[in-house]
C-alpha cells in the first residue's frame, strides 16, 4: 500500500474527502516527526510506539574498494508494535 492508497482507505473509512484525508495524514506524519525530532516518543495505544534510538559511531568498508571508512553516530527512528497490532497480524 502506498500513500495514495492509504489516503483512499482513510477517506472511505472516515467518510472524508480525499483532500481532507490527505491533509489529515500529512498532519499526523508531521506531528510524529516533530516529536521524534525533539527526542520524544509517540504512543498510540494498541498500535505501537514511535521513538528514537542512538546508533554508535563505527567503522565500515566501501564494498567497491575495500577501503575502511568511519560512519558517524546517528539518531535513528524506531517503532515497537503494540499488542493489538501484533495480534491482528498473527
In this structure, what CATH number is given to the domain that contains residue 64?
Answer: 4.10.520.10
Same domain, 4 and 17: yes
Report pTM.
Answer: 0.81
Look up the domain containing 18 and give its range: 1-38
Residue 35: exposure state from Cβ atoms within 10 A (0-12, 13-18, ≥19):
middle
Same domain, 84 and 48: yes
Same domain, 76 and 45: yes
Cell numbers describing residue 48: 505501537
Smallest CA-to-CA distance from 42 within 54, 53, 51, 34 is with: 51
Same domain, 18 and 34: yes
Same domain, 72 and 83: yes
Same domain, 83 and 52: yes
Same domain, 76 and 52: yes
50, β-bridge pairs: 42, 79
How close are the terminal C-alpha atoms of the chain, in Å? 19
Alpha-carbon distance of 43 to 61, in angstroms, equals: 37
Q: What pLDDT is attached to residue 69?
A: 94
Same domain, 53 and 83: yes
pLDDT tens column, 12-52: 999 999 999 999 999 999 999 999 999 999 999 999 999 99
Q: What pLDDT is attached to residue 41?
A: 96
Q: Structural domain tally of the chain? A: 2
Amino acid at each position: 500500500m502506498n500513500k495514495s492508497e492509504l489516503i483512499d482507505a482513510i477517506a472511505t473509512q472516515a467518510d472524508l474527502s480525499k483532500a481532507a484525508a490527505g491533509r489529515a495524514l500529512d498532519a499526523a506524519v508531521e506531528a510524529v516527526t516533530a516529536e521524534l525530532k525533539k527526542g520524544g516518543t509517540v504512543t498510540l495505544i494498541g498500535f505501537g510506539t514511535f521513538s528514537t534510538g542512538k546508533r554508535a559511531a563505527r567503522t565500515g568498508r566501501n564494498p567497491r574498494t575495500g577501503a575502511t571508512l568511519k560512519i558517524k553516530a546517528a539518531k535513528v527512528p524506531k517503532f515497537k508494535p503494540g499488542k493489538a497490532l501484533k495480534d491482528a497480524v498473527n
